[in-house]
Structure 1
Amino acid sequence: MNPDVVFLHGEVVTVDQQNRIAEAVAVKDGKIAAVGTSAEIKQMVGPHTKVVDLDGKSLLPGFIDSHLHIVAYGIDKLGVSCKAPHIQSIQDILNDLRAQAAVLANGKWVRAWGFDETKIVEHRYPTREELDQVSTEHPIIIVRACNHISVVNSKALEQFSIDRNTPNPKGGIIERDGQGELTGRLLESAHFQKSKEVAFSDEEILRALSRASADFVAAGITSVHDAGSSDANEFRLMQQAVRTGIIKNRIYAMVCTMDSPEAFVNTMIAAGITTGVGDERFKIGPAKLFTDGSSSGPTIATRKPYTSNPEDFGILYYSQEELNRLLTEAHKKGFQITVHAQGDRAIEMMLNCIEEAQKQYPREDARPRIEHAGITEPDLLERMKQLGVIPIPNPSFFYEYGEGYVKNYGERVNHMYPLRDFFDSGIIAAAGSDCPVTHYDPLFGIHMAMNRQSKQGTVIGGNQRVTVLEAIRAYTWNGAYASFEETKKGSIEVGKLADLVVLSDSILQISSEKIDQLHVELTMINGDIVHQLKP
């Protein structure tokens, strides 16, 4: 039987256990049929075989982003982007908000995303009063880039039923000034609980998912570990979008909602659903909770105070006992378990939880995860190894937020998202972008894993740099392992799914400083070419 597609004369980075580099690949019926030399594969070509001449370019396994938010990214594209190049000041943001409000009926939400106070000239948040000057007839919300903090106007506070007497929710802050007046800023659970009320229609969400999937496919992302939606309806729509072909990427969906994730986890447990339910296109992933805040906020939970503030240790969502109870039950029922844990204190709590869960209900190959694993110091690294934990670091964070990390955490940046330590310790770490917190491009993530430079050119924890093959593995095979799918995808080996990407040049020959200049020319999922640049 002749192959459907063959790739010849290339640099095939197989990411197999020997890191072999081949020349050619044959694809048949959605799977890898052969890997070898161009001469060997050429002999298989038939009259209907599509031949792709790589001309020395790299062919890689499809990229796996092990932590992003597909719904949030798509929805963000429907609002004002604070990351747009022309946004240099608060006034620029207010102008864009005013323009959006002008085309919306009174009472409709005006939304902005991607705000970062360190990137604008004022180095502060907009005030509630400034947002009120844009409109008092439209509720307005600006979500910070980390998606853990927002600032809203008076109309939004009214719709949220928040006044100066409203108490802070557990794990969150409704910010007030020195006189007790509301500033409009909502942090952590205060933000999560209310942001879900900024509702989009099902039609808008499906349109957003279509846009997101197209962008991810063009970047070579063939599989996504979705890290949580706003609510159960978005989770349902994500499944629907995969089933109907709106989403082309494969989805490994964490059981998590941004507000009250424990309630969603308990609902799924009660329904008898567990990790692994589904098929190769959509599969239920781990049960996920939040333990602390944002590394750039900064609101992460640390064992020592912030370098920038000796009184600040961050925010914790749960006590150790609460975390143990919630996730041990999920582990007992067969779920892979994970948490958002950025600070070393939060990471330590999750390690305690995993240890207790395995002590009560021992299970082989449970593969517990820790999303982000921000500050992973040596003692935590050793415990991760012993417990078989899969950390999910975010190399791209250093570009946007690296300078703030140095300011807030000092020397601890040498242990932040420590890919070098993970590889050296034999820990299987899978990389994610946390898009829309940072850009989704895996090639940029690989570049940052190798270089760890901020936008200003500062090297942040250079001791944690990795090689190009290690960085590629973090975005391919390791991601497949994190979802129990390493026998099906993540490397270019016979019998595995034909999820492949062709780059614009050789990733092994180009200098590490220029890897971010590469781009994806072709993306294949299940043997189908779903993206291809015109020659």
Structure 2
Amino acid sequence: MPDIVFLHGEVITVDEQNRIVEAIAVKGNQIIAIGTSEEIERLVGPQTTVINLQGKSLLPGFIDSHLHLSAYGIDKLGISCKAPHIQSLQDIFHDVREKAAELPAGKWVRAWGFNETKIAEQRYPTREELDRISTEHPIIIVRACNHISVVNSKALEILAIQKDTPDPKGGMIERNDEGELTGRLIETAHFRIVKEVAHSEEEMFHALALASADYVAAGITSIHDAGCNDSDSFRVMHQAVRNGLVKVRIYAMVCAMDSPEAFLESMIAAGMATGVGDDRFKIGPAKLFTDGSSSGPTIATRKPYTSNPKDYGVLYYTQEELNRRLGEAHKKGFQITAHAQGDRAIEMVLNCIEAALQEHPRPDARPRIEHAGISEPDLVERMSQLGVVPIPNPAFFYEYGEGYVHNYGERVNQMYPLRDFFESGIVAAAGSDSPVTDYRPLFGIQAAVNRKSKQGQEIGTNQTVSILEAIRAYTWNGAYASFDEHRKGSIEVEKLADLVILDGSILQADPNSIADLSVHMTIIDGEIVYQAG
């Protein structure tokens, strides 16, 4: 007899036939029956909990295939530049000043989510402005894309960055026309400071628990963590799962924000490979960065930016370097992936994947491309031929859509092209890239369906998909991207009881109001881990 049954609902199975049924039964951590309410009600025993869905949608637990668990949690400990009251630099400076007053001298003051296009001044803060707040506290303000930051003089001193410090490969320490440091650190110059802005282990555990609670409340049952700050935070994340602080299942990419090559090499040397672990925490793909941020903008493009005919973005590696590093990981048993936003970067990653598969053939390798931003038709065709799993970010259009039109022009019609992926038979799994944008899957599903910005501007509507297709990108396709489609991602007998119940019907919702639905209940492993109210 089942432990719990759900009756009279809109059960979206996301199985091969996309069946919609009324009811399911769960025993332990598995789904044991699916059917009509009448059929499932016959299984009810004296100890069975019966939940009447009253027409609400019940779906497989959402899988976010690209986010940053620790980064999101850490941000919750700092100052949010996305808070509703932030309308200008002065608003940010006020909050930074208040935080500095609470902390002893020498402690970092951290702000996140900054976007120069969303504030009155339409510019970055300067080092001098931050110095006027404090010269005793190191201050860092991180852009929403998490690829650029601005710091004060105290932070530059701690980081040992001086006027003559050379730019790191793949990044820039910005200077003004007089050669003075502006405080802005771009791409690898930003990533290299992550260790210096480290948190204590106690703070990390707290941050991870906060992040997990938010994700679970949004119906997320599994995540693909896209990279930790360093190897130590990788360890802490694993420990947080084992001691129950983190409820979501984790597929952890092997990638450190600073010196990802060294971290990857150490994991290969330790004998790690994709798939090591269990249903709660498992080693995922080996990942490198190839270019920058789509909203920065710093992505590597084949044609210059529409907004700047001299700008083609930033590349982190040569083709030979990328082939060697990811090729070795593939050879040693890793699924391989890379952050690639611009079409030039995507082409390089596809070249790398093709070379790796030719040199060391492996059936069902499922190489990935994180983001796959500007995926022109020739690149989509190559992805299909190579069996690549792209990980697009539909929610980016809502927050950054106007900037995409400004910087890339007509290329927005090929940005995160879910329609082209589906029609080419490509299994594309969606991710939020949280904290870069809103982590709520319902928010991403709405953006995939309507591709509208916050201001209502349509951004490449030729790539819209149906509600069921968008749901699949956040469920079964996510399971496929981590080799777990036999265990989760759809509501089928013998699969894990990872489920989400909404407060209404998603199939009857206005496509422009899907994000207005809320999560009523989240279940992981047959256990209710979140219930509204």
TM-score when scaled to structure 1? 0.99
Give how far 1:216 is off: 0.4
Give how far 1:446 is off: 0.2
Q: Tell me the equivalent position of 2:30.
A: 31
Q: Tell me the equivalent position of 1:222.
A: 221
- Say if 2:269 is the partner of 1:270: yes
User: In structure 1, what is the Cα distance between the partners aligned to 2:147 and 2:508?
Assistant: 40
User: In structure 1, what is the Cα distance between the partners aligned to 2:499 and 2:193?
Assistant: 40
Q: Tell me the equivalent position of 1:373.
A: 372
User: In structure 2, what is the Cα distance between the partners aligned to 1:504 and 1:420?
Assistant: 28
Q: Tell me the equivalent position of 2:167.
A: 168
Q: What is the one-letter code of the residue matched to 2:220? A: I
Q: Tell me the equivalent position of 2:381.
A: 382
Q: Tell me the equivalent position of 2:316.
A: 317
Q: What is the one-letter code of the residue matched to 1:164? A: K
Q: What is the one-letter code of the residue matched to 1:59? A: L
1:306-326 superposed Cα distances (whole Å, 9 cap, x missing partner): 000000000000000000000
Q: Tell me the equivalent position of 1:125.
A: 124
Q: Tell me the equivalent position of 2:231.
A: 232
Q: Tell me the equivalent position of 2:82.
A: 83
Q: What is the one-letter code of the residue matched to 2:208? A: L
User: In structure 1, what is the Cα distance between the partners aligned to 2:188 and 2:105?
Assistant: 28
Give how far 1:48 is off: 1.0
Describe the SS at the equivalent of 1:113.
strand
Q: Tell me the equivalent position of 1:184.
A: 183
Q: What is the one-letter code of the residue matched to 1:153? A: N
1:205-231 superposed Cα distances (whole Å, 9 cap, x missing partner): 000000000000000000000000110
User: In structure 2, what is the Cα distance between the partners aligned to 1:281 and 1:21?
Assistant: 28
User: In structure 2, what is the Cα distance between the partners aligned to 1:487 and 1:215?
Assistant: 27
Q: Tell me the equivalent position of 1:483.
A: 482
Describe the SS at the equivalent of 2:197.
coil
User: In structure 1, what is the Cα distance between the partners aligned to 2:313 and 2:435?
Assistant: 22
User: In structure 2, what is the Cα distance between the partners aligned to 1:259 and 1:153?
Assistant: 20
Q: Percent identity?
A: 74
1:52-108 superposed Cα distances (whole Å, 9 cap, x missing partner): 100000000000000000000000000000000000000000000000000100000
- Say if 2:489 is the partner of 1:496: no
Give how far 1:262 is off: 1.0
User: In structure 2, what is the Cα distance between the partners aligned to 1:135 and 1:89?
Assistant: 19
Q: What is the one-letter code of the residue matched to 2:404? A: Y
Q: What is the one-letter code of the residue matched to 1:336? A: Q
Q: Tell me the equivalent position of 1:454.
A: 453
User: In structure 2, what is the Cα distance between the partners aligned to 1:266 and 1:104?
Assistant: 38
Q: Tell me the equivalent position of 1:517.
A: 516
Q: What is the one-letter code of the residue matched to 2:50? A: V
Matching of residues 125-524 of structure 1 within 5 Å = 125-524=124-523
1:2-53 superposed Cα distances (whole Å, 9 cap, x missing partner): 1011000000000000000000000001000100000000011111111110
Give how far 1:246 is off: 0.3
Q: Tell me the equivalent position of 2:96.
A: 97
Q: What is the one-letter code of the residue matched to 1:78? A: L
User: In structure 2, what is the Cα distance between the partners aligned to 1:23 and 1:33?
Assistant: 14
Give how far 1:503 is off: 0.4
Describe the SS at the equivalent of 2:185.
strand
Give how far 1:260 is off: 1.0
Give how far 1:174 is off: 0.1
Give how far 1:122 is off: 0.3
User: In structure 1, what is the Cα distance between the partners aligned to 2:258 and 2:458?
Assistant: 35
User: In structure 2, what is the Cα distance between the partners aligned to 1:29 and 1:503?
Assistant: 22
User: In structure 1, what is the Cα distance between the partners aligned to 2:301 and 2:518?
Assistant: 38
Structure 1: gaps (5+ residues):
none
Describe the SS at the equivalent of 1:463.
helix
1:227-274 superposed Cα distances (whole Å, 9 cap, x missing partner): 001101110000000000000000000000011111111110000000
1:259-299 superposed Cα distances (whole Å, 9 cap, x missing partner): 11111111100000000000000000000000000000000
Describe the SS at the equivalent of 1:402.
helix
Runs of 4+ in 1 over 4 A off after TM superposition: none
Structure 1 stretch displaced more, 255-264 or 479-488: 255-264
Q: Tell me the equivalent position of 2:67.
A: 68
Q: What is the one-letter code of the residue matched to 1:101? A: A
User: In structure 2, what is the Cα distance between the partners aligned to 1:358 and 1:60?
Assistant: 36
Give how far 1:195 is off: 2.3
User: In structure 2, what is the Cα distance between the partners aligned to 1:194 and 1:515?
Assistant: 39
Describe the SS at the equivalent of 1:310.
coil
User: In structure 2, what is the Cα distance between the partners aligned to 1:530 and 1:391?
Assistant: 30
User: In structure 1, what is the Cα distance between the partners aligned to 2:309 and 2:324?
Assistant: 32
Query: How many residues get paired?
Result: 533
Give how far 1:196 is off: 2.1
1:171-214 superposed Cα distances (whole Å, 9 cap, x missing partner): 00000000000000000000000122101000000000000000
Describe the SS at the equivalent of 1:133.
helix
Structure 2: gaps (5+ residues):
none
User: In structure 1, what is the Cα distance between the partners aligned to 2:148 and 2:7?
Assistant: 49
Q: What is the one-letter code of the residue matched to 2:49? A: K
Q: What is the one-letter code of the residue matched to 2:227? A: G
User: In structure 1, what is the Cα distance between the partners aligned to 2:188 and 2:522?
Assistant: 38
User: In structure 1, what is the Cα distance between the partners aligned to 2:140 and 2:272?
Assistant: 35
User: In structure 2, what is the Cα distance between the partners aligned to 1:89 and 1:50?
Assistant: 52
Give how far 1:327 is off: 0.5
Give how far 1:330 is off: 0.3
User: In structure 2, what is the Cα distance between the partners aligned to 1:205 and 1:458?
Assistant: 39
User: In structure 1, what is the Cα distance between the partners aligned to 2:316 and 2:36?
Assistant: 54
**RMSD of the alignment, in Å?**
0.4
Q: What is the one-letter code of the residue matched to 1:471? A: A
1:457-501 superposed Cα distances (whole Å, 9 cap, x missing partner): 100000000000000000000000000000000000000000000
User: In structure 2, what is the Cα distance between the partners aligned to 1:5 and 1:240?
Assistant: 30
User: In structure 2, what is the Cα distance between the partners aligned to 1:387 and 1:195?
Assistant: 35
User: In structure 1, what is the Cα distance between the partners aligned to 2:508 and 2:452?
Assistant: 21
1:346-365 superposed Cα distances (whole Å, 9 cap, x missing partner): 00000000000011000100
Q: What is the one-letter code of the residue matched to 1:33? A: I
User: In structure 1, what is the Cα distance between the partners aligned to 2:284 and 2:16?
Assistant: 25
Describe the SS at the equivalent of 2:345.
helix
